[in-house]
Amino acid sequence: MGPYLSAPKRDKRKASGENQRLRFASSEMQGWRNSMEDAKLTNVQLDSNTSIFGVFDGHGGAEVAEFVSRHFSRQLLLTPAYREGRLEDALRETFLRMDELLNTIEAKRELVRISRNLPNNYPVEPDDNLMAGCTAVVSLVRGNQLIVAHAGDSRCVLCREGRALELTRDHKPDLPEERTRIIRAGGNIVDGRIMGNLNLSRSIGDLEYKKNAALPPQDQIITAYPDVRRETITENDDFFILACDGVWEMLDSQQAIEFVHKKIKNKPITVIADEMLDKCLARDVSSSGGLGCDNMTAIIVAFNHPLGQ
């Protein structure tokens, strides 16, 4: 069946937690794919007043998504911008820092271990030919501020008075500003895909598209440089959803918000997150055209009002 299993894997990896400001639930499902390439990041206590959540949708392998989920928080905390409270700058720097780390010898060894499912510190040789990458959407909640950074087509959507407020815009090659950068950097777009391969225009990893030494990171054919948005959360905002494109291919932003909004008063968000993935899973591969057959990861973060300032 090519890249698909004969029957989907419906088992889910789950996480949940809460603090005084919010509660979250995440759910991850392999689905019809031969392997699971998504990873996620959830920590309600990144520091004394900040929570972090992230979804990383891997392609070409799971190793970059898993690597980013392991290292993102620490690298974020190490940036001077974070310590100075410049959260938007800190997120931008950390997205680019992920690519810098991926080019180190030790990271290349770690990627090999992840790709082969080997224990940490297992002796391996670095591999310069690994060609994986991942999209990334990361949110910080500090007081009544929600800061979201993303590269790629994983998405963050806020529920405001029952309506969907998209806090990200999918980075696709046919967007005018993305197309301009790609062509200026020496790339091309074939059938909506960069070099006929990737159907997204920003990602972490995919280092083979980032080798033009004459250009800064944000101007490469594919860049990890994120768009960042800050939103002030009020009592009109109930929750937000982070999810990979396997979910958004099946539910548009408003449909996803309505799915959660109708259930959240009567069901735990742990149950709702699982039900969302089940709703998005295709019944079969042959009639779905591939929709609903991807790996799926979703995080629901619900606010406890009033939020702290």
Q: So what's the pLDDT on residue 308? A: 40
Tell me what the mean pLDDT of segment 41-61 comes to: 97
Model confidence band, residue 309 (pLDDT cutoffs 50, 70, 90): very low
Domain boundaries, the chain: 4-303
Q: What secondary structure does DSSP assign to 134-195, as a single string? A: EEEEEEEEETTEEEEEEESS-EEEEEETTEEEE------TTSHHHHHHHHHTT--EETTEET
In this prediction, residue 2 carries a pLDDT of: 53
Q: Is the pLDDT of residue 307 over 60?
A: no
- Give how far Cα 157 sits from Cα of 88, 105, 256, 258, 294, Å: 18, 37, 9, 11, 20
Residue 199 half-sphere exposure toward CB, CA atoms < 13 A = 5
Contacts of residue 256, Cβ cutoff 8 Å, sequence gap at least 6: 157, 164, 241, 243, 247, 248, 276
Which class for 303: exposed (0-12), middle (13-18), buried (19 or more C-beta within 10 A)? buried
Residue type, 287: S
Q: Are 138 and 50 in contact, with CB atoms under 8 Å apart?
A: no
State how far the Cα of 89 lies from the Cα of 81, in Å rounded to an integer: 6
For residues 277-295, give the mean pLDDT.
91
pTM of the complete model: 0.96
- Give 305's pLDDT tier (boundaries 50, 70, 90): confident
In 3D space, the residue among 246, 242, 235 whose CA is nearest the CA of residue 257 turns out to be 242
Q: What is the mean pLDDT of residues 104-130?
A: 92
Reply yes or no on whether the pLDDT at 138 is more than 70: yes
Q: Which long-range contacts link 173-181 to residues 24+ away (Cβ below 8 Å)? A: 173/198, 173/199, 173/200, 173/201, 175/201, 178/202, 181/219, 181/221, 181/223
Give the CATH architecture of domain 4-303. 4-Layer Sandwich (3.60)
Query: Which class for 283: exposed (0-12), middle (13-18), buried (19 or more C-beta within 10 A)?
Result: exposed
Q: What pLDDT digit, counting tens, does each position of 184-215 carry? A: 999 999 999 999 999 999 999 999 999 999 99
- Please calculate the CA angle 201-202-206 and round it to the nearest 5 degrees: 95
Beta bridge pairs of residue 157: 166, 241
Mean pLDDT over residues 65-77, rounded? 98
| Model pLDDT, residue 130 | 78
- How many other C-beta atoms lie within 10 A of the C-beta of residue 94? 26
Mean per-residue pLDDT for 59-83? 97
Average pLDDT score over the chain: 95
Task: Label residue 213 exposed, middle or buried (CB < 10 Å: 0-12, 13-18, 19+).
Answer: exposed
CB neighbours of residue 184 within 10 Å: 12
Task: Render pLDDT for 208-220 as a digit per residue (tens, 0 to 9).
Answer: 999 999 999 999 9
Closest C-alpha to 204, from 159, 296, 137: 137
Return the pLDDT at 289.
81
Q: Examine the pLDDT at 62 and tell me if it is beyond 70.
A: yes
* pLDDT at position 100: 97
Mean pLDDT of all residues in 263-289 = 94
Q: What is the 3-state secondary structure (H, E, C) of 226-266?
A: CEEEEEECCCCEEEEEEECHHHHCCCCHHHHHHHHHHHCCC
